[in-house]
Amino acid sequence: MSPDISLAHYWPFAVLCAVALVAVVRLLVRETITLQGSISFGVFLVVFLVAALLPERALDVARAMGFTLLSNFLFALALIGLSILHLRGRVALSRADLRTVQLTQELALLEERVRRLSGER
């Protein structure tokens, strides 16, 4: 029995994706997030939006990948996508943390040097 797949079943999902996409764009406009930091998330949302708007095509892709139900495919896609995005975020955070440590160390050394030079005068 072929499942009934149409936009009518997926419009709430499409709306959610669109709202999230608008939120990302707003963050970009306000310069709260950089394009570099958000582009992968944006692409991820666009893929989901397209899947929600064109469920028949998405089901073809899902079946080609061994999924019977479109919902399972979307769930798996979301899980994998979010895991990758989370890992990317952790990498960026670790880099920023290491740089912060180095800058704090250099600042402390320079402050001490300035204090000593001021005291020598």
Q: How far is the CB of 3 from another protein (least distance, A)?
A: 46
Regarding 106 and contact with another protein (CB under 8 A), the answer is yes
Among 1, 116, 118, 120, binds another protein (CB under 8 A): 116
Among 109, 118, 120, 121, binds another protein (CB under 8 A): 109
Nearest 5°: the CA angle 65, 66, 69 is: 105
What does each C-alpha distance from 101 to 77, 96, 104 come to in angstroms?
A: 36, 9, 5
- Which residue is associated with the tokens 């990758």? 84
Regarding 91 and contact with another protein (CB under 8 A), the answer is no
Residues 70 and 62 sit within 8 Å (Cβ to Cβ):
yes
Site string for another protein, 10-49 (x = CB under 8 A): ----------------------------------------
Q: How far is the CB of 104 from another protein (least distance, A)?
A: 5
Long-range contacts of 9-12 (CB under 8 A, 24+ apart): 9/55, 10/51, 10/52, 10/53, 10/55, 11/52
Among 88, 90, 95, 113, binds another protein (CB under 8 A): 113
Regarding 110 and contact with another protein (CB under 8 A), the answer is yes
Q: Which amino acid is at 102?
A: Q
Question: Interface with another protein by CB under 8 A: which residues?
Answer: 101-102, 104-113, 116
